[in-house]
Chains A and B, each alone.
Chain A
Amino acid sequence: MNTHHLIASPTGIRKPNTGTRVLQGLAAVFAASLALIPLTGVAQSAAPTAEQWSAVEAAATKEGNVSIYHNLNPAGAELLANEFRKDRPGLDVQITRLGSAPLIQRFGTEFAAGRNIADVLITFPDERIFDGMKAGWMAAWIPPELKNFLPAANYHKQNMLFNIQTAREAIIWNTQKIKAADAPKEWADLFNPRWKGKVGMNPPWRSVSIQGVIAYWDKLGLGDTAAKLKANDVRFFEGSGGIIQAVIRGDVYLAELTDLPLNTALADGAPIEFVYPKSGTTLSEGYVFVAAKAPHPNAGKVFTNWLLTARGQLLLQQFAGLSATRPGTPPLSHLPATSTLSNTHDGLELIPPAKQAGMVDHWRTVFGIQ
């Protein structure tokens, strides 16, 4: 039985007499249709009622399974899935992890080919996600838990893409290599010749987050930051993981970092410190959506809504290591909550496609990588 029937089947209705049965039947079909429309793709203006949500949950249990495509910390994602299984016995969760870019590439191909495997997708977006939103990748619905979030969590009020976590740009340094008195405080410190050959970063041609912070450096009037970092013999590393390992090892002493692995490293006692510069920083917003053609649409909604609950957000933060977006969620164990940072900007908003291409071209030219 599919979702539509489950939602359409009211329970606990008194037995009608024969004369009104047809009319009641038509009314039930009409009511069911109204309930059905928001849950199957047309933009919904209100969260489902308790009764409607119960029907979704019942349908999810019938579906029995939810398939998640994500780019979270793989070990953390498995622990998160285990917690979901505990909270929703009988509803299994299958997780497939890829980096953001191949994840989006793969989902897009599967969508276009009609090979729908993923029910839910969790990732940091690039332009393809927003194009996909227009192309019908996402189910339009309002999770019951969304009312507990700031309105901005619902991307452009489209009821499709929900902001569940945030990564922030920071400067980190090795405390065994740099004394506290010399510790960097501002972005401009990355260009200080004192640290020539000792600065690391993720190159902008492999990260939208880095493109965002470079756009912000432009906004701050820091000049040709590519040329300045080239003059400072910056070393590039493979992603946030490569950078934090390089700083811990001492290959470089300080680095620009998207703070994905930072809380975990600090919790382990790694010899690093961090600062979110007072001049401001950029955010990379992690989103979740339910696929419009999800094989298990109700299970997908139940999982997504669970992720938005206070417990889901806390667990997401604990296991994925990133700041959750639900107001009232306690901060990460070793990093401040995003809401407490001053002067934050959505990195993606700073890099419209034309600027993004121009920036990447410029950096590639400066560093001789074409």
Chain B
Amino acid sequence: MIGVNEHTAAASSGQPVPIQRSDALFDGGRLLGALYVVTFVIVALLVATPLAALIYGSLRSAAPGLPAQWTLANWAGLASPGVVGTFVTTIGIGVAVSLIAAIVGTAIAIIVHRTDFRGASTVTALVSLSFFLPSFILAMAWIIIGSPGGLINGVLEDILGLQGWRVDAYTATGIIFVMALHEVPFVYLLMRGPILGMDASFEEAARAAGASPYAVLRKITLPLLSFSLTSAVVLAFVLSIEQFAIPALMGIPGHVTVLATQLYLLVLFPPPDYGLAAAIGLTLSALTGIAIWLQRRIARNNRLTVTTGKAGRLTPIPLGRWKWAAGALCWGYLAFALILPVIILTYVSVLKYFTPNPFGGAYTLRNYVFLYESGSTVRSFWNTLIVSGLGALLGVILASFISYFTLRHRPPGYRVLDFTASLPLGVPGVVLGLGLLWAYAYLPLPIYGTLTILIVAFITRFLSYATETIGGRMVQIDRSLEEAAWTAGATRLQTIKRVLVPLTMPSLQGAYFLLFMAFFREIASAVLLYTAASSVLSTSIWSFFEQANWGLASSLSLMGMIVVFVFMSLLVVLTRGRSGIKA
């Protein structure tokens, strides 16, 4: 083992310092070792608690707490033609969505952060804001726009008189389109940190050698981002197969069935089949774990280190004649994913009932008056800010430790920690919510029915968002930077504070944004755990929506967006000077 003192001594004596991965648990001090153990235990408990409840549920003939027998029938149900057939549709939609989202999200991140694109700060803010929109609200907006009785058909038929031209959002194409819109910001936020943290010298060298911008992108930039890019594809795929609101609202009318809507029906509607739902959820979780493991294997074989100690400054890539295409992509995306839906939300929020003709609308401000007077809404705003603000912070801290231990420190068992942390990601929210309810209702912990359980549930569910975001940046940082610090006499903790944290700051920020937004809009696991005292905004919006009160759902969504925007703006202003990050 070579600790800091040995490093320093070896360096000062003029002998070469061996560069090798530290493989001892307590290298660098007892504190790190203790932190590793604590991190491992927390992650294991967070993940194992609901998963154990689901495993138990999948082996019982009725929900936990009810009279039941042990059975394997639920697992046998996985081979039924219905599940297999739906699985194929789900995979098809998931692949299409993840590829589109990965391409568009990465392209926007590169355009905004690596080129001389004008309006980068605005695009960054708006893409981040679009991540807030709950999936069912986005689906609602696109149903209003693209359904058979929607705005587009209204214009085509009533205004342009084109009777033969019709669009129909209730199709697999419609689902893929809206899901991709929904996941692009996720990919963007995941890719932002690694792109901002890239070392310019590789690209500069390629340019100096005469490579065209396209060749630099294809042969240098994208391969260097392969860890994050494969993470983005895997995570976007997982998100798309567990997404239930969009296929439920747009697929059911068009008879397009995916696994998530099947799970939704199995869990939430009579006669329920919790056991089969748990078995499907656990299978998806295992598949996700395997996908993440494969992604690690692929990434491990590539050279990913892009931040070294060499001096270099990112030179913006000139867009030249491509600036219009870049602008069309960024602003086109924002028009479809944010601007148009927000206009629709605003319109619907002041209507008594929907009409495609704004001149014939029955307008009202009653929804806003109700929200203003509603004590429970005000409480849910505060609860949401606490859960999202504090929960995201705790999540980022935990994810930072996980990423540090699995990617930098690598003590014994680090792969188990990595795998464990990724497991909940694959469990669809509606099933994980069930596991969390079963687990925390029975555990003798004084957190049931409080905001704490929501924070615990959300961190469990979305931990991978943060670990992948932070990890994507950590693998880019060359070990020589840490070793240089040790050589200069810094301890491991000082090195983390002075070298790693500043260099990973863009990803830490990105991870916080991701978690904050994900917590802000989460419904599936919140709906089975919240109480009157711990109600959050997302469950209120879902309740209004479910009861056909699209006006209240829209107005509350808009209010939520304003709060998110203000909160995030404050955060950016407060942290701007410290991170030194270009927007």
**Does chain A bind chain B?**
yes
Tell me if B533 and A249 are in contact (CB < 8 A).
no
CB atoms of B252 and A238 under 8 A apart = yes
Q: How far is the CA of A67 from the CA of B257 in the complex (A)?
A: 37
- Within the complex, the shortest CB–CB distance from B537 to chain A, in Å, comes to 13
Check B64 against A109 for contact (C-beta < 8 Å): yes
Q: How far is the CA of A67 from the CA of B550 in the complex (A)?
A: 27
- B393 CB, min distance to chain A CBs, angstroms: 27
Q: Does A206 contact B265, Cβ atoms closer than 8 Å?
A: yes
Residue-wise, chain B 448-481 has the 8 Å CB interface mask toward A (1 for contact) of: 1100000000000000000000000000000000
Q: Are B148 and A250 in contact (CB under 8 A)?
A: yes
Q: Which of B262, B271, B353, B535 contacts A96 (CB 8 A)?
A: B535
Return the contact of B543 from the options A74, A106, A113, A357 (Cβ within 8 A).
A74
Partner of A261, one of B249, B257, B272, B548: B548
Of the candidate stretches B80-88, B116-124, B194-202, the one touching chain A is: B80-88
B540 touches A105 (CB 8 A): no
CB A93 to nearest CB in B, in angstroms, measures 9
Residues in A314-370 with C-beta less than 8 Å from chain B? 353, 356-357, 360, 364, 367-370
| A181 interfacial by beta-carbon distance below 8 Å | no
A101 touching B352 in the complex, CB below 8 Å, given contacts A115-B448, A241-B548, A249-B147: no
* CB-defined contacts of A111 to chain B, threshold 8 Å: 65
Contacts of B83 in A (CB 8 A): 370
A106 to B449, CA, bound (A): 12
Is B170's CB within 8 Å of the partner chain A?
yes
Q: Mark B514-552, 1 if CB is under 8 A from A, else 0.
A: 000000000000011011110100001001111111101
CA distance A127 to B270 in the complex (A): 8
- In the complex, how many angstroms separate the beta carbon of B498 from the nearest chain A beta carbon? 47
Contact, CB under 8 Å: B547 / A74:
yes
Among A67, A105, A353, A368, contact of B255 (Cβ-Cβ < 8 Å): A368
Interchain CB contact under 8 A, A245 and B253: no
Q: A19 — which chain B residues lie within 8 A by C-beta?
A: none
- Nearest residue (CB) in B for A135 is B66
- Name, among A106, A127, A238, the residue most crowded by chain B CB atoms within 10 Å (CB to CB): A238
With a cutoff of 8 Å between Cβ atoms, the chain B residues found around residue A275 in the complex are none
Are A75 and B270 CB-contacts (below 8 A) given A245-B354, A251-B148? Answer: no
Given A95-B532, A208-B270: A113 in contact with B147 (beta carbons within 8 A): no
How far apart sit A127 and B570, CA to CA, in the bound complex (Å)?
Answer: 51
Q: Which residue on A lies nearest to B374, using beta carbons?
A: A78
A319 shortest CB reach to chain B, Å: 12
Q: Which of the 9-residue segments A7-15, A56-64, A214-222, A265-273 touches chain B?
A: A265-273
Q: Does B567 contact A (CB under 8 A)?
A: no
Q: Which residues of B contact A248 (CB under 8 A)?
A: 353-354
A-facing mask of B363-402, CB < 8 A → 1, else 0?
0000000100011100000000000000000000000000
A31 lies within 8 A of chain B by Cβ:
no
B residues near A244, Cβ cutoff 8 Å: 548
Please pick, from B82, B528, B546, the residue contacting A369 in the complex, using a CB distance under 8 A. B82
In the bound complex, do residue B546 and residue A205 qualify as a contact, i.e. CB atoms below 8 Å apart? no
Q: CA of A78 to CA of B543 in the docked complex: distance in angstroms? A: 12
A235 close to B (CB within 8 Å): yes
- Count of A residues near B, CB < 8 Å? 66
Cα A247 to Cα B178 in complex, Å, equals 22
Per the bound structure, the CA–CA distance linking A270 and B550 in Å amounts to 14
Interface residues of B in 249-293 (CB under 8 A from A): 249, 252-255, 257, 262, 265, 267-272
Number of interface residues of B (CB under 8 A): 65
Question: Cβ of A240: which chain B residues have Cβ within 8 Å of it?
Answer: 548
Indicate which residue in B149, B252, B262 contacts A250 across the interface (CB closer than 8 Å): B149
**Candidates A102, A128, A205; contact of B527 at CB < 8 Å:** A102
A94 within 8 A of B: yes
State whether B352 touches A108 (Cβ < 8 A): no
Contacts of B257 in A (CB 8 A): 368-369
Chain B at the A interface: SS class? loop
A103-134: CB near B (< 8 Å → 1, else 0) gives 00110111111010100000000111000000
Residues of A within 8 A of B437 (CB): 105-106, 109
Contact B268 A251 (CB under 8 A): no
**Contact partners of A105 in chain B: CB under 8 A:** 63, 267-268, 272, 434, 437, 528
Tell me the nearest residue of chain B to A118, going by C-beta.
B531
Q: Check if A75 sits within 8 Å of B441, measured CB to CB.
A: no
Interface centre among A109, A200, A268 (most CB of B within 10 A): A109
Are the CB atoms of A241 and B547 closer together than 8 Å?
Answer: yes
- A370–B86 touching, CB < 8 Å: yes
Confirm or deny: A207 has a beta carbon within 8 angstroms of a beta carbon on chain B: yes
User: Does chain A have a CB within 8 A of B442?
Assistant: yes
Among B85, B356, B362, B545, the most chain A Cβ lie within 10 Å of the Cβ of B545
| Interface status of B40 (Cβ within 8 A of chain A) | no
Q: Are B353 and A269 in contact (CB under 8 A)?
A: yes
Contacting residues, chain B, for A357 (C-beta < 8 A): 271
Q: Does the CB pair B353–A265 fall under 8 Å? A: yes
Q: Which residues of B contact A269 (CB under 8 A)?
A: 352-353, 362
Per a CB cutoff under 8 Å, which of B80, B147, B547, B549 touches A251? B147
Interface residues of A (CB under 8 A from B): 67-68, 73-75, 78, 94-99, 101-102, 105-106, 108-113, 115, 117, 126-128, 200, 203, 205-208, 235-242, 244-246, 248-252, 260-261, 264-265, 268-271, 353, 356-357, 360, 364, 367-370
Identify 17 residue pairs between A and B in the complex whose beta-carbon atoms are under 8 Å apart, listed by A's number: A78-B374, A78-B376, A95-B376, A96-B531, A105-B267, A109-B437, A113-B441, A126-B270, A200-B253, A203-B252, A206-B269, A236-B253, A239-B548, A241-B550, A268-B362, A364-B82, A367-B255
Beyond the given pairs A75-B552, A94-B533, A126-B270, 5 more chain A to chain B contacts, judged by CB atoms under 8 angstroms and listed by A's residue number, are A74-B549, A98-B527, A117-B449, A268-B352, A368-B255
